[in-house]
Chain A
Amino acid sequence: MKVAVLRFPGTNCEFDTEYAFKKLGHDVSIVWHNDTSLPDGIDLVVVPGGFSYGDYLRSGSIARFAPVMKSVSQYASKGGKVLGICNGFQILTEAGLLPGALKRNTNLHFISKYQHLKVSNTDNAFLNKFKSGDMLYVPIAHADGNYYIDDAGLEELKANGQILLQYVDSDGNIDSINGSIEAIAGICNKEKNVFGLMPHPERAIEDILGSDDGINMLQGFAS
């Protein structure tokens, strides 16, 4: 699989993401925000985590106008797969490629810890290696992860199976640690080719790091 990882000023997870996909045997190129095209023949675009443009104005609000994002939108509109992690998720919602928005965490804290997640839908390119209800243990690190969508939008997400991951406690009970509606940690678009999540699968790819649950998440795209 050929993976393009975007890089904006303030992105800081591009090399972790590159490392993770390389470890899984994929070709990775890092693409600068000022580039006006994506590399030929790619299978996946990853918008990685970080603090693009210092999170000024709103997280992701400035990055979404970077030249490379035009190509990402075109790529996505043709069915190309796009994954946004953390700040990447915020950028994709700001760009309108994913519904809803990410607000400041309800407790106003930057939450940085390992977090239990529940797989809520597996009928997609991202989580096809899992079963619905599977529990994952993956790091989160964000201040603006409080997912918001209006009631009509939420009904649509549910009806189309777009809610992919939810925050749970260690017993598997829904636990909205940051205030997210329905404890949503990750979603996809209606067409199921654009994915966004606040947790960092690229930081959970080796036992020594505390979890390797991220492997089957990232490998999902290769199957």
Chain B
Amino acid sequence: MKAIVNVYLKQGVLDPQGKAAHHALESLGFHGIEDVRIGKQIVIKLGNMSKEEAITKVKEMSETLLANTVIEDYDIEIVQ
């Protein structure tokens, strides 16, 4: 089982990297972009456990270490 945690800056918190990529894409001629946010993906390989147990565990990991909830949001996806 794998847990995929996506961490990104909260809406309303300026994302300087996303903004730079946004400008670069526009100057390359890609139009119609409303916003670009850059985050990180953390892939955690888990041993035998139920999906519920995995979600609880990875949520705790995210709150404790993987995301700084002062500035970041996260979502968790469990993949078999």
Contacts and interface: CB of A to CB of B under 8 A. Distances in A.
Interface centre among B14, B17, B66 (most CB of A within 10 A): B14
Interface stretch (A42-50, A101-109, A122-130, A202-210): A101-109
A104 B40 CA distance: 14
The A contact surface, by secondary structure, is: loop
A108 B70 contact: no
Contact of B9 (A94, A103, A105): A103
Contacts of B16: 103-108, 146, 179
Interface string B8-20: 0100011011001
A65 B70 contact: no
Interface string B45-80: 000000000000000000001101011000000000
B71 A108 contact: no
Contact of A108 (B13, B20, B66): B20
A59 to B, nearest CB: 10
Contacts of B14: 103, 106, 179
Contact of B68 (A94, A146, A149): A94
Contacts of A70: none
25 contacts: A57-B65, A58-B68, A61-B65, A62-B65, A65-B65, A94-B68, A101-B68, A101-B70, A101-B71, A103-B9, A103-B13, A103-B16, A103-B71, A104-B16, A104-B17, A106-B14, A106-B16, A107-B16, A108-B17, A146-B16, A148-B13, A149-B70, A150-B70, A179-B14, A179-B16
Interface in A83-111: 93-94, 100-101, 103-108
B17 A61 contact: no
